[in-house]
Structure 1
Amino acid sequence: MMRLGRLLLSFLCVLALTAGAPAGIALAGTAPLQTQPRTTVASLDVPSQLEAMRKLDFMVGRWVGSGWTITETGAREEFYQTEQVQYQAGGLVISIQGDSRDKEDPRETVHTAFAVINYNDITQQYRWESFARGYVTEVVPVVGPNTFQWTLDVPGVKLRYTLEFTAKTWHEIGEISFDGGQTWQQNFQMDLRRLK
């Protein structure tokens, strides 16, 4: 019981220190926090966030289809794909759950990913955060009528994914650039149809 008390006391001290740490300051053993504008509940404009998120209605639904990708070795791999896109947190967040299966053996999962999209009414930007293969990607996407595009810069390479939607279709291409975005080569394509 004494050990539990000490553990709880230590935990509460860490929580108190973390809650009081200024943005951009890292506690020992933690990564520095990015400086974000401090907001209060009174300063949030939830109706404008909801309105911005509704501009992504075209994405919401259950999707199935297939696609292909070019691997690092240059081989083309084909896959079956499902995507479940839905509103969360009262419509303030959209979650995307993707599952890719080997076309030759659909029992074998070749890729899974999870992503969230939200809108920051203070910066007036959408935020795309995805989780796949142990990586976390956070970027500001470009949203247009029935389109969604996000770009990732990694050392020596730029990756760009462009999604185009109709009422019943989702067409996505992935491209890679080795010259800072001057020229692009397609290395991915996915074509899905909406189930509901």
Structure 2
Amino acid sequence: MAAALLAVPATTMPTHARDAAAPLNYLVGEWTGEGWVDMGQGRMEFRQHERITSRLDGNIITIEGTGSDPANAGVTVFEAFAVLSASGKPGEFTMRSYTREGQAGTFPAVLETPNRLVWTITVPGRLIRYRSEVTGDRWIETGEASVDGGSKWMKFFEMTLDRMPAG
């Protein structure tokens, strides 16, 4: 496949755009913790593990998340993979995410403060907003939904993770 890629003219990121995802490096590492989600059928708790990696000379950040049943760590209840890349404007990114259930999408993400990333998903009749904030070695992420265009928000998701020691 590499030979095929060399045969096709490729667009490359300009030198000044390299490391464009570097502002997200505060996420890089392994994280573990717990959370809950309530999509209207009752609250479900989970244990979460996230592996965040900077790749391709800092051009992208990959996120691998796995949620398991807190009573049985061998039972996976959620699994997702995402790629964050710079959109071309400072502090703005594109998130492409995929779940094991076959859901996939591309969403805008904005770095609101140096350690707070917000991304929004628009679905028919609803806006979904996730806020991910890291303070020290603690990552708190919330998910909220709005059915009125963003005037009122209802929290349906929260997770609290701690950075695992490197090693």
What TM-score comes out, normalization by structure 2 length? 0.86
**Quick one: distance in 2 between partners of 1:67 and 1:78?**
6
Q: What displacement does 1:65 show?
A: 0.2
Aligned pair 1:47/2:16, yes or no?
yes
Q: What is the correspondence of 1:125-136 to structure 2 with a 5 Å cutoff?
A: 125-132=92-99, 133-136=101-104
**Structure 1 pair 182/77, CA: closer, same or farther in 2 (3 Å)?**
same
2:37 corresponds in structure 1 to 69
**Quick one: distance in 1 between partners of 2:11 and 2:65?**
34
Q: What is the correspondence of 1:11-160 to structure 2 with a 5 Å cutoff?
A: 40-41=11-12, 44-50=13-19, 52-73=20-41, 75-121=42-88, 125-132=92-99, 133-143=101-111, 144-160=113-129
Indicate the structure whose relative CO is greater, using CA pairs within 8 Å and at least 6 residues apart: 2
Q: Give the match's secondary structure for 1:107.
A: strand
User: Contact 1:49 / 1:120 at 8 angstroms: preserved in 2?
Assistant: no
Deviation digits for residues 69-100 of structure 1, max 9, x if unmatched?
Answer: 00332x00100000000011122111000000
Q: Kindly indicate which of the two structures has a greater share of residues assigned to strand.
A: 2
**Structure 1 pair 110/118, CA: closer, same or farther in 2 (3 Å)?**
same
Q: Could you say which structure has the larger radius of gyration?
A: 1
Percent identity, aligned pairs only, is 34
1:7 corresponds in structure 2 to none
Q: What displacement does 1:48 show?
A: 2.6
Q: What displacement does 1:191 show?
A: 0.1
User: Contact 2:125 / 2:147 at 8 angstroms: preserved in 1?
Assistant: yes
User: Contact 2:129 / 2:144 at 8 angstroms: preserved in 1?
Assistant: yes
What TM-score comes out, normalization by structure 1 length? 0.74
Q: Kindly indicate which of the two structures has a greater share of residues assigned to helix.
A: 1
**Quick one: distance in 1 between partners of 2:131 and 2:161?**
14
User: Contact 1:58 / 1:166 at 8 angstroms: preserved in 2?
Assistant: no
**Quick one: distance in 1 between partners of 2:15 and 2:155?**
38
**Quick one: distance in 2 between partners of 1:177 and 1:120?**
25
User: Contact 1:118 / 1:127 at 8 angstroms: preserved in 2?
Assistant: yes
Letter in 1 for 2:51: Q
The unaligned stretches of length 5 or more in structure 2 are 1-7
